[in-house]
Structure 1
Amino acid sequence: MALAASGGPASGNFAEIIQELNVMLSINAGPFALALTHLLLLIALVTATLIEARFVRRVHAKKTAVFSLFILGVVAARIAFVLTYFTQYSDAPWKALDIRDGGFLVWPGIAAAILGGLLIGWRHPEQRRALAFSMTAGLAIWLLGGWLLSSYQQGAPLPQTTLRTLHGEPVSVAEYRGKPVVINLWATWCPPCRREMPVLRDMQLEREDIVFVFVNQAESAQAVSDYLSRQQLVLSNSFLDPEGEFAREVGSAALPTTLFYSSDGHLTGSHMGEMSRASLTHYLDSQTGARSAVSGTSSHRD
């Protein structure tokens, strides 16, 4: 979820303060990594569930509904996404069931959950107060938290960390300012990275108006070259981050991580985890908003 702040003087000052902070996109919890957006959703759900449980105990109701409404919202958000991008699933319709790509449309999901809550409240008057307070609290935490998180993450400039080409030459992604930039952090040992690579490769070939950059994490040039050769993957802008400094600068704690930057070099969105063609198309349409070619220097480098 990404909520844009207004462009007044106060929000401008707030954005400048936020950009002074180190951006963090995900956190580690032992062997697991969790995107901050997912953590926020979990906090909102737990809060709503606890509030509902408190009200239910007071009125001695027998049923709770918040979790069911959450599932309803998730399903509706997924269905809305699949219907919007159904052409992307035509070759493999079963992939519409794979929600790991993060393909959801937020507002249809919220609308479905609210309508479901209204229906339950109409049929079970004793649950109205519990649903009203719990859903209001959960949505408030999620929407307000989403706005704050968006303000915290978005607007960060293109990273300044120097990368290396597969031939050992230094390079900076800042040189691609002038076009929208998509940066994918990956590794050859990462299964979801390997699965999504053909999707990113194909999109790089199709969308010449956008610069795609592939930043391998802490592997040798030989290992990366051998892997790309075995998989018959030809990628432009394939670079190395030998010490993981680039990942630390952008705040990524897990792979794969994909970052979206505007043509003026500021972060507009991020995604942790595997991307499908549909979810990548959604991000490009909603985050970069760029479909026409932009004149400038070549955006490809070996």
Structure 2
Amino acid sequence: MHLSFKERSLDILRLGPVVLPVHALLALLGLGAANAVAAWYRRCRGIDPGPALWRMTLVGFVAGRLFFVLRHHDLFADSPWSALNIRDGGFVPWAGWLAALATGALLARNSAPLRRSLLAATLAGGAVWLGATLLNQALAPAREPIPAIAVQRLDGATVALDSFKGRPLVINLWATWCGPCRREMPALMAAQRTHPQVTFVFVNQGESAQAVREFLSGHQLDIANVFVDPARQAGTATRSLGYPTTLFYDAAGTLRLRHVGELSQASAREKIAGLDGPP
């Protein structure tokens, strides 16, 4: 696989048939660096910080998810089991980091060699993750606008996507055959109703208006602003490599966030809140 330097700075990466969010890939790189340092200590110094490092990772992962769920407890109250569906990417990173560091301090409190090796592994992983994240942000294309392309309403009328500029905009690229797209539709329908200050636009990729109408009717989905894009122009213009991809634009029409994969109502709320801050 070949990627240009600019393409590496995107929010998604295709590895053969697999599409990965870049933030997840960067986290895996950091974790890999930490474990490489742990392996070196085990091999060269006879000290194994690996088990403690994995406990830190597990606790940090759970804590980051738990804080996210508590932050949006009203949305999880009716379906608490949905809190286990981590495919929405809902985590609070600072809570995860604090919990992981506290766990490491507790596990190594009685062993100076373990403290040193665990600190070295943690710093290596954190440095790789932070450095790669900052580099990716520095290389990212600046101020991507809403694509100036035309899509079709289900009645055949043509609408320019950039005509929605002027208020926060969420563009969801989806297909009826896409499992995660189908699963997230009820959550996005609810988000559309609870965030009237935001325009939600659903652009089906590559299918007919008839197929989309049958899908919406069959699943009893009452969603506004549903369009079809038979030539997949929107996916090409936004360099979206997989579905569902949800794009979050501020009122000035600038792309602020990109989410690849399934969204929950909670993760949609979190990302919409990010549109209010400075770019």
Q: Does structure 1 conserve the Cα–Cα contact (< 8 Å) formed by 2:38 and 2:49?
A: no
Pick aligned residue for 1:52 from 30, 38, 45: 38
Letter of the structure 2 residue corresponding to residue 78 of structure 1: R
Q: 2:16 aligned with 1:30, yes or no?
A: yes
Deviation of residue 234 (structure 1)?
2.3
* Structure 1 spans left out of the alignment, 5+ residues: 1-19, 291-302
TM-score of the aligned structures, taking structure 2 as reference length: 0.90
- Which portions of structure 1, spanning 4 or more consecutive aligned residues, are displaced by more than 6 angstroms? 20-23
Partner Cα separation in structure 2 for residue 202 and residue 156 of structure 1: 27
TM-score of the aligned structures, taking structure 1 as reference length: 0.83
Pick aligned residue for 1:166 from 141, 144, 154: 154
SS of 1:219 mapped into structure 2: coil
Partner of 1:71: 58
Partner Cα separation in structure 2 for residue 169 and residue 268 of structure 1: 28
Mapping for residues 272-283 of structure 1, pairs under 5 Å:
272-283=260-271
Deviation of residue 67 (structure 1)?
2.5
| CA RMSD in angstroms, aligned pairs only | 2.0
Q: Does structure 2 conserve the Cα–Cα contact (< 8 Å) formed by 1:103 and 1:279?
A: yes
Deviation of residue 250 (structure 1)?
1.4
Mapping for residues 37-116 of structure 1, pairs under 5 Å:
37-64=23-50, 65-116=52-103
Q: 2:215 aligned with 1:227, yes or no?
A: yes
* Structure 2 spans left out of the alignment, 5+ residues: 1-5
Moved more, 152-161 or 26-35: 152-161
Moved more, 137-146 or 186-195: 137-146
Partner Cα separation in structure 2 for residue 119 and residue 39 of structure 1: 28
Mapping for residues 128-207 of structure 1, pairs under 5 Å:
128-151=115-138, 152=140, 155-207=143-195
Partner Cα separation in structure 2 for residue 139 and residue 130 of structure 1: 14
Moved more, 63-72 or 176-185: 63-72
Partner Cα separation in structure 1 for residue 58 and residue 137 of structure 2: 24
Partner Cα separation in structure 2 for residue 143 and residue 87 of structure 1: 32
Deviation of residue 167 (structure 1)?
2.8
Deviation of residue 23 (structure 1)?
6.8
Deviation of residue 62 (structure 1)?
4.2
Q: Does structure 2 conserve the Cα–Cα contact (< 8 Å) formed by 1:219 and 1:242?
A: yes
Deviation of residue 50 (structure 1)?
0.4
SS of 1:122 mapped into structure 2: coil
Partner of 2:3: none
Partner Cα separation in structure 1 for residue 142 and residue 108 of structure 2: 38
Partner Cα separation in structure 2 for residue 69 and residue 230 of structure 1: 46
Deviation of residue 22 (structure 1)?
9.4
Q: Does structure 2 conserve the Cα–Cα contact (< 8 Å) formed by 1:69 and 1:116?
A: yes
Partner Cα separation in structure 1 for residue 41 and residue 48 of structure 2: 11
